[in-house]
Amino acid sequence: MVARQDCDIVDATSSDLTPRRPHRRVATMDVTLILPIAPQSKLAAAPTLRGRRAGTRKAEATRAYEETLRQAIVDRWPAGVAPHGPVAVDFLFVFARPRRLCVARCPDGVIVAPVKPDWDNLVKAAQDALVKSGAIGDDAAIVLGQAAKVYAERDREARVVLRVYDAPVGWPTWVGHLLQVDDLAGEEWTR
């Protein structure tokens, strides 16, 4: 378990949408897992036909990847820790660094990976594994999250890092900003 850090949040009930400090909760859940598994995206389901019934079947590579992730989550999830209510999940997908980025002029740290697969397909596979592992009862409970995909540092391997924590009381500052922009959009405001 990792200690939770405070962040600025915006009161969703307030009309001024100014940041304030969050209320203190008695018990917070905040679990960070580092899974030594190369990230994979959720592949499209294959169409099937049984008799006259059409359906879909999950791709075998997706099924195997989700099962590997599920088992890694089960092995690392702290005993007795379960979310109660809405949760937030942050995802970091770290891909193996390609050979072309191992030259001396490239930085040693992580490098942004603006290539396929799309980050939302990576998130879908990881969310399914979280639900199947029992860490989260239903992915509908995820109300907030972030995702990033990067290439690994020179001396590190591919991995998936997940942070599951109680959703903050109120909205994070960036949500408040978008709500403010949305309110102003009705007044033909543009930036």
Domain spans of the chain, in order of start: 23-167
| Listed range (3-17, 90-104, 116-130) with the worst mean pLDDT | 3-17
Give the model's pLDDT for residue 42. Answer: 84
Length of the chain: 191
Mean pLDDT, range 82-90, rounded to an integer: 91
How far apart CA 187 and CA 131 sit, in angstroms, is 41
> Residue 103: phi, psi to the nearest 5?
-75, 160
Name the more confident of 85 and 44: 85
Residues 6+ apart with CB under 8 A from 141: 83, 85, 86, 87
Give the model's pLDDT for residue 185. Answer: 61
Name the more confident of 115 and 43: 115
* Average pLDDT, rounded, for the chain: 82
The confidence band for 13, taking pLDDT boundaries of 50, 70 and 90, is very low
Give the model's pLDDT for residue 66. Answer: 94
Cβ distance 152 to 94 under 8 Å?
A: yes
Give the model's pLDDT for residue 41. Answer: 87
Name the more confident of 21 and 169: 169
Give the model's pLDDT for residue 14. Answer: 40
Give the model's pLDDT for residue 27. Answer: 53
Q: Which CATH superfamily is domain 23-167 in?
A: Holliday junction resolvase RusA (3.30.1330.70)
The confidence band for 178, taking pLDDT boundaries of 50, 70 and 90, is confident
Give the model's pLDDT for residue 172. Answer: 82
How far apart CA 23 and CA 115 sit, in angstroms, is 39
Neighbouring C-alpha atoms within 13 Å toward the C-beta of 96: 7
- Three-state SS string across the chain, please? CCCCCCCCEECCCCCCCCEECCCCCCCCCEEEEEECCCCCCCCCCEEEEECCEEEEECCHHHHHHHHHHHHHHHHHCCCCCCCCCCEEEEEEEEECCCHHHCCCCCCCCCEECCCCCCHHHHHHHHHHHHHHHCCCCCHHHEEEEEEEEEECCCCCCCEEEEEEEECCCCEEHHHHHHHHHHHHHCCCCCC
The confidence band for 12, taking pLDDT boundaries of 50, 70 and 90, is very low
CB neighbours of residue 34 within 10 Å: 13
Q: Residue 146: pLDDT above 60?
A: yes
Q: What pTM did the predictor assign?
A: 0.76
